Amino acid sequence: MSLAIRFNFSIIVEDQMYYDLVEGRNDILTLPYTKDSIFKGDFLTLSPKSANYEQMNFEIIGHVNTIEDKDGKPIEKKMRVTPIFKCDSNKLSTIMQQCHFNLVYLNEMKKRIEEQIQSLDEQINYNHKCLSDRESTLNYSILCLNEKRQELSMHELMDSQSVLSRYNVKLTDKEKLETTINDLTAQINKEVQEYKDLKSETNTLETQLKSSMELKQYIVSQITSNKNEIVNYQKLIQT
């Protein structure tokens, strides 16, 4: 098959592929590999195998990818195409109406996503503040624990007279110190676990926020695409 570049050339394809391309369910066309160059903006005519008379013109809108076999030999070309509809005012008006419906739906989705993004952002900021407060509390608890441990160590090493003069405690206070240390240790373990749980929750929220922002970006691109289609169809109707 020789391809005439910048001119229409006809190709017969499988029925399902043809109708998927015409109805917009797919825009990828796969052809057997040829040495002919195919570029964005070139044209071709496709027809289904079962009905050669039912033809549709297409424009190539994407760059060609070459598919190779396991030995590196090119076997197929893949490209993105879009059907070129005849200027039927009624049909174009119907398509434009669908684009308007799409815009209403997409704008509503965009509004909801923006609300979700705002809510997630506020919750994440609040969590970060709580994490900072919990970290300060945890550091203070650890400081208190270290002081009590040092006090207990000195309590065990020094005689009662020295302890009394330095810490104003008696040897009988050792049990109280050990109890305090145990209580502080349990409190720190609890604070550490709460900090980890809050950190994990914040990471999950940040992942959700990233996904929501990516979805918003996609919706915005779809809104722009539908607006451009409406403008193009309006120009076709006027023409």
φ, ψ at 71 (rounded to 5°): -95, 5
First to last CA, the chain: 35
Predicted pLDDT at 102: 82
User: pLDDT digits over 6-28, tens only?
Assistant: 456 678 888 888 888 888 788 88
Predicted pLDDT at 172: 55
Q: Which of 10, 13, 50, 7 minimizes the C-alpha distance to 28?
A: 13
Which stretches of the chain score pLDDT less than 70? 1-9, 35-37, 52, 64, 85-92, 154-173, 236-239
Other Cβ atoms closer than 10 A to 207: 11
Q: Where are the alpha helices (DSSP H) in the chain?
A: 15-22, 89-157, 160-167, 174-238
Predicted pLDDT at 238: 67
Answer yes or no: are the C-beta atoms of 124 and 209 closer than 8 Å.
yes
Predicted pLDDT at 127: 92
User: pLDDT digits over 160-176, tens only?
Assistant: 555 556 666 555 567 78
Answer yes or no: are the C-beta atoms of 81 and 21 closer than 8 Å.
yes
Dihedral over alpha carbons 48, 51, 57, 61 (to 10 degrees): -10
